[in-house]
Amino acid sequence: MSSLPFSRSSKRLVILRPLQRLSPLGIIALVIILLALVATVFPKIFAPYNPNVLNIIDRLQPPSTSYPFGTDELGRDLFSRTIHGVRLSLGASLMVVVISTIIGTPIGLLAGYMGGRIDALLMRLADILIAFPSLIMAMAIVTVLGPGLQNAMVALALVWWPQYARLARGQAMQIRGLPYIEAATALGLSNGRILFRHVLPNTLTPLFVKMSLDVSLAILATASFSFLGLGAAPPSPELGSLVTQGRNYFLEAWWYTTFPGAVILLLSLAFNIIADDLRDVLDPTLRF
């Protein structure tokens, strides 16, 4: 009976051990990301006002206790709109990364493990997409599909999956010659089972690091699309759209673009820092 509490505490230590190896900046970044995720799922917890309610009397009010980020040209609370903007921007960025991973990882694993013509065919397709600048190609796709946040997400996912395919292919090529893969093949296991049961788990560490880094890039990309009029459009409170709307009032209302822009910077920096820390924590070659 006494071994049960010990085993539970041991499991907790195993789960918390990677967190103990985070740097101080990594811990701060993790807290910022967790708060952003909570705001994404439950924005009403942080937003004191409805982000779409107009109040012309209080238009372009500077930051105060009533309006921490001030108000916009229609009297809407910028803090509430920024919180809902985090929900849109972060949610869209996570979806872009997840879709890119889901498309690219199986293709890369199949190409790297099978080799031969399958590898050549799949990787040449990826090379064609990688040959074009990703943002320019994504803009071209959005132009064809039409402006909008959902179309921007689709376009980014379509041009980013080859990067995940390349990463998964490299890992699969390193793993396929190892003794335990040869043993699994000798036992008659199917290629699909070997790929997803034995090869995929060994590719998760670099995939997680890349996904963390790409979330920050996706936040900047979606904001850029909105700024150029290819993403979310007014009255959407997406962060890039808020910056776009506020630039016309920058001289008389500096807070309009400053606070949403600062949130974009903070989120991107947090995911960059956590990606670096994840690489150090999860990479066994960096453990001493």
pLDDT in tens, the chain (288 residues): 444 454 555 444 444 555 667 788 888 999 999 999 998 889 888 888 988 888 889 899 999 999 999 999 999 999 999 999 999 999 999 999 999 999 999 998 888 888 888 888 988 888 888 888 888 899 999 988 888 889 999 999 999 999 999 988 888 888 877 777 777 777 777 777 777 777 888 788 888 888 988 999 999 999 889 888 888 877 888 899 899 888 888 888 999 999 999 999 999 999 999 988 887 776 655 554
> To the nearest 10°, the Cα dihedral for 129, 135, 136, 137?
30
Residue 32: how many CB atoms within 10 A of its CB?
17
| Confidence (pLDDT) at 3 | 46
| Confidence (pLDDT) at 16 | 54
| Confidence (pLDDT) at 71 | 93
| Confidence (pLDDT) at 68 | 92
| Confidence (pLDDT) at 19 | 62
Q: Is the pTM of this model over 0.75?
A: yes
Q: What domains does the chain contain, in order, with CATH numbers?
A: 23-57+67-286 (1.10.3720.10)
